[in-house]
Structure 1
Amino acid sequence: MSRIYIPSTGPDNWQALLADPSKHWRTGYSARTLAHCWERANGLPPEIAAMFDGPSELLLALPEHKVPLAGGQRHSQSDVFALIRFGENTCAATIEGKVNEPFGPTVGEWFADPSDGKRLRLRQICDLMALDGVPPMDIRYQLLHRTASALLEAKRFKTDEAAMIVHTFSAARMWFDDFERFAGLFGNTARPDEPMVLVLRTGQRLRLGWATGNPEHLLL
């Protein structure tokens, strides 16, 4: 995987980075909607900026950013990875775009009859997030590995905190209950468009958020 990145000239540049560029690049779906939203913002979309304390600034955004995890060849691929400055702090954030698409399999579904690689990967994720044992079976695995990716990148870039933010364009707040259960792992109560900031037992600071995007981007 190359570590050289070329600046974007517009939303269409994002399409080539998708696993299936023809299937996943559709009006009204998350990949295309997210690309138009972030490109039009020319910085942080306001709903993402609202997840941080005080004035915030986008330093760098990488669409479809891959982070290697233990136990296999398949990386965790975030819709957007962003380095964000707010006040005197910096944050490594993974952004998960959603419209009506689900979060994928639960831990119970993904970890059924697990291979040695899956056991190793889940152990790494739990260690990063300071979770004891296997998470509850109804937690969505995607939320776990996206958060683990943010924590790994925060260490790599030596930022003050990590963040995992769901950037949703669903007026019905589809799948918010999954995010709510995930936040409950840390003893937090999730609320739409309100950030949660916690300090893990590892000492690492983690920010979680559910940010509602402008639905006008669904039409682009």
Structure 2
Amino acid sequence: MTRIYIPATSAEQWAQFLAEPARQWRKGYSARTLAYSWQDADGFPDEVGAVLGLKFPAAEILLAFPEHQVPLPGGSRPSQNDIWVLARSQGKLISIAVEGKVSESFGPTIQEWQAQSNPGKTARLEFLQRLLELDAVPLSIRYQLLHRTASALIEAQRFNAQHALMLVHSFSQSHEGFQDYAAFAELMGGRASKEILNSAGSLSGTLLHIAWVQGNPASLSK
């Protein structure tokens, strides 16, 4: 995987990093909506900045990588973050894994993901449980929320960031998927709430947070 990155000058350039651009890069879908929301913002989108500001005053983006891949043990597929951000607030670094949503689900539950079990999946789940310090994971939890949170932690450790944040940036006007997020928040010891930065404690010396932020619907039409 290359370590050379070229800055984007427009949201349209984000499409090249998608697995299936023809299917995923469509008006009203999460990939395109998220790209326009973040590319058009001067820093963080206003709604994201407002939530971050509750814990991290004057947070600023240092680096932001669309479709950032984070390797995980077990299998060949990495965790592909819609956006990964390295941010700074009052001299402290924050690793932020962003998951954008409109009407899409968070994908399979652990039970569905394990339907065709193999040694790679077993190794990966064991790794995620160790990293997130979970004794067990309910079968109803969405697998994507586990590995997206792991991404935030792994990159925090790689960049020596004191904080890691898994942030769901949802543009769904009916809050689709929130109940799945809420179940995950409770599993991690946080609160099931919107527009709040929930603390999930310290994991291997990194302070973990999770958040659900409601996106500006204006980005849906771009």
Question: TM class, shorter-chain normalised?
Answer: over 0.9
Residue 195 of structure 2 is matched in structure 1 by 193
- Stretches of structure 1 lacking an aligned partner (at least 5 in a row): none
Q: Deviations over 1:70-96 (max 9, x none)?
A: 011101100000011122311011000
CA RMSD of aligned residues (A): 1.1
2 CA distance for matches of 1:154 and 1:205?
A: 9
45-54 or 158-167: bigger deviation: 45-54
Alignment of 1:128-147 (within 5 A): 128-133=131-136, 135-147=137-149
Is 1:194–1:209's contact at 8 Å kept on the other side of the alignment? yes
> Which of 162, 166, 177 in structure 2 is aligned with 1:175?
177
Instruction: Give 1:114 deviation, angstroms.
Output: 1.6
Q: Partner of 2:109 in structure 1?
A: 106
Match of residue 35 from structure 2: 35
Please identify, of 83-92 and 177-186, the stretch whose mean Cα deviation from structure 2 is larger. 83-92
Aligned residues: 219
1:124-175: per-residue Cα shift (whole Å, max 9, x none)? 1111100013x00000000000001111000001101111000000111111
Q: Hey, what's the Cα distance between the residues in 2 that align with 1:198 and 1:147?
A: 11
Q: What stretches of structure 2 of length at least 5 have no aligned partner? A: none
TM-score under structure 2 normalisation? 0.96
CA distance in 2, matches of 1:200, 1:161: 9
Residue 43 of structure 1 and its aligned partner are, at CA, apart by 1.1
Task: Tell me the equivalent position of 1:92.
Answer: 95
| Structure 1 residue corresponding to 2:77, chosen from 40, 64, 74 | 74
The residue that corresponds to 2:165 in the other structure is 163
Q: Among all aligned residue pairs of Structure 1 and Structure 2, give the percentage whose two residues are the same amino acid.
A: 47
Aligned to 1:55: 58
Q: Which residue of 2 aligns with 1:19?
A: 19
CA distance in 1, matches of 2:116, 2:15: 35
Equivalent residue, structure 2, for 1:205:
207
